[in-house]
Amino acid sequence: MTIPTQVNETVHAHYTRSDLGSVILAALEKAGKDLNRLTPEDLAPIDEFHIRGRAATLELARAASVDSKKRVLDVGSGIGGTSRCLAQEFGCRVTGIDLTDEYCRTAAMLSARMGLAHLVEYRQGDATNLPFPDALFDIVWTEHTAMNIPDKPRLYQEMHRVLKPGGTLAIYDILAGPSGPVLFPVPWARTPESSFLVTPDELRRLLEESKFQVTSWSDTTTAARAWFVSLAERISKDGLPPLGFHVLIGSDFQAMAENQRRNLEEGRIVLAQVVAER
C-alpha cells in the first residue's frame, strides 16, 4: 500500500510554489549574491527546512557516522539543503527523493550553482514506494518528513529494504507530545488532515517491527524549543525577511511559527534524533 492519492495531493499542494527556483534566485540577486557561486551562507535563510537547521543536520551526521565512503538516501529532501550539507561537509554521494517535483527541480538547480552536481541527485517519488533496488544505500536519512506520511509501517519497511545489511537509518523528526493536539497551521500542515504524528513509543515500536535495531535515541526538544522561540520572536519583531522559509510554504509562515512555538512550549510536540541499524 502507498500513500492515498488524496493525501499525496494535499501534501503536494501544501509545499508546491510556482517557479520556486526563480523566486529564490531573484531574492539572492537582490541581496547581492553571486548566483553562479552560491555558498551555504547565502542559502542559510532558506536551506534545511527543519528545526535548528544545519546544526541539527551535523549532529545527526556525526551520530550516523557519515563519511565520504557512504552512499546516502535523503528521504524528503526538499530543496536539497541537507543533501548539500552532507556532500560538502563529508564528500559523500547523496540521492534525494521528494514528493514535490518543484522542490526536486529547485534542489538540482541550487546544487549545480554550488558546484555539487557531481555528488547529489534528486528524484521525485513516494517515500512508501521507493524507486530503488534492494540494499543500495549505506545510510537512509530523513528529517521532518514522516509527519506527512500516514502509512508509517510501509515507510520504514521501504527504508529497511533499500539499506545494505548493517546499514544505518538516521532520523530527526517531530513526534506527538503528551499534552494535547497540535495547534494548526504548522510548517508541515495547515490542517490535521495532512498531519500524521506518532509518539516516541509508537516510533520505537514501528522501527522494531520493521526489523531495525535502535542504537541511539536523543530527545532534542529543549534545544528545538529555544531555537523556535528565537525564530518566532524575530519574525514578530522584524516581520518576514526577503528570503526565508515563508518562500517555501507561503506568507502564513508567521502564524505557523507562532503555533510551532506554542506547540513546543506546551508539550504538544517533541523532537527526537534516532539512529538505528538494519
Convert the pLDDT of each residue in 61-88 to its tens digit. 999 999 999 999 999 999 999 999 999 9
Convert the pLDDT of each residue in 254-272 to its tens digit. 888 889 989 999 999 999 9
Backbone angles phi, psi at 105, to 5 degrees: -65, -45
- For residue 11, the model assigns a pLDDT of 67
Domains within the chain, CATH numbers bracketed: 5-125+132-277 (3.40.50.150)
**What angle do helix axes 200-209 and 152-162 make, rounded to 10 degrees?**
50
Q: State the average pLDDT for the chain.
A: 91
Q: Cα(261)–Cα(192) distance, rounded to whole angstroms?
A: 17
Band (13; pLDDT cuts 50, 70, 90): low
pLDDT tops 50 at residue 93: yes
Query: For residue 145, what is its C-alpha cell?
Result: 518528513
Name the residue with higher pLDDT: 164 or 231.
Answer: 164
- For residue 1, the model assigns a pLDDT of 38
Q: Cα(75)–Cα(126) distance, rounded to whole angstroms?
A: 9
Averaged pLDDT, 209-215: 98
Q: Residue 189 gets which letter from DSSP?
A: B
Pairing of strands 137-143, 93-98: unpaired
Q: Which of 262, 141, 154 is nearest to 206 (CA)?
A: 154
**164 CA to centre of own chain:** 22
145's CB contacts (< 8 A; 6+ apart) are 75, 76, 127, 173
pLDDT tops 80 at residue 14: no
Averaged pLDDT, 136-140: 98
Convert the pLDDT of each residue in 180-199 to its tens digit. 899 999 999 999 999 999 99
Q: Cα(134)–Cα(21) distance, rounded to whole angstroms?
A: 33
Neighbours of 31 (CB within 10 A): 12
Pairing of strands 163-176, 213-219: unpaired
Lowest-confidence region among 42-51, 81-90, 121-130, 160-169:
42-51
Express as a percent the part of the chain with pLDDT over 70: 94
Band (252; pLDDT cuts 50, 70, 90): confident
